[in-house]
Amino acid sequence: MSSSLKNLSSYNKDDIPSGEDNLFGIVVSQWNDSITDALLNGAVETLIENGVDQKDIYVQYVPGSFELPFGASKLLEKKKFDAIICLGCIIQGQTRHFEFISSAVAQGIMQVSLQKDIPVVFGVLTTNDLEQAKQRSGGDLGNKGVEAAITALKMASL
């Protein structure tokens, strides 16, 4: 089903494992910060709503989405996290730069997860324009940060 037909942040709280006593890291891109700040707020609120104590959520900022995998790797060296959430926003421009960055970020996040044996969640918007990013960071289509937090809660419980 097309994501344009539903709010991606809707979930049944009874289907989500409690995050109580879990430790979560969130790595956030500062590029497109009006979008990534909204993603971060959605992720943090969702974790707290599902039993995670505010003190058990660590936030690390990186300059852009390309730096998310490195930021996740460094965060994992600091503490034993149950899951890491990577939040970013890559907006299509007039060149192929978008394709290279999007692919590298997705591959990098997956690589960190497999190498460190910890769930590292891909909460990166890859949109055609700013309006699409707004719709997916708290607009009519929900908030990808909420979706990423739900994924992290589920993966941490494995």
End-to-end CA distance of the chain: 27
Q: Which residues of 71-91 are buried (b: 16+ CB within 10 A; e: fewer)?
A: bbbebbeeeebbbbbbbbbbb
CA distance 36 to 136: 11
- The Cα–Cα gap between 11 and 17 comes to 12
Alpha-helical regions (H) of the chain: 33-49, 68-78, 97-116, 130-135, 144-156
With H, G, I as helix, E, B as strand and everything else as coil, classify residue 34.
helix
* 2 labelled catalytic: no
Given the residues 97, 99, 100, 107, select the one marked as catalytic. Answer: 97
Which active-site residues does the annotation give? 97
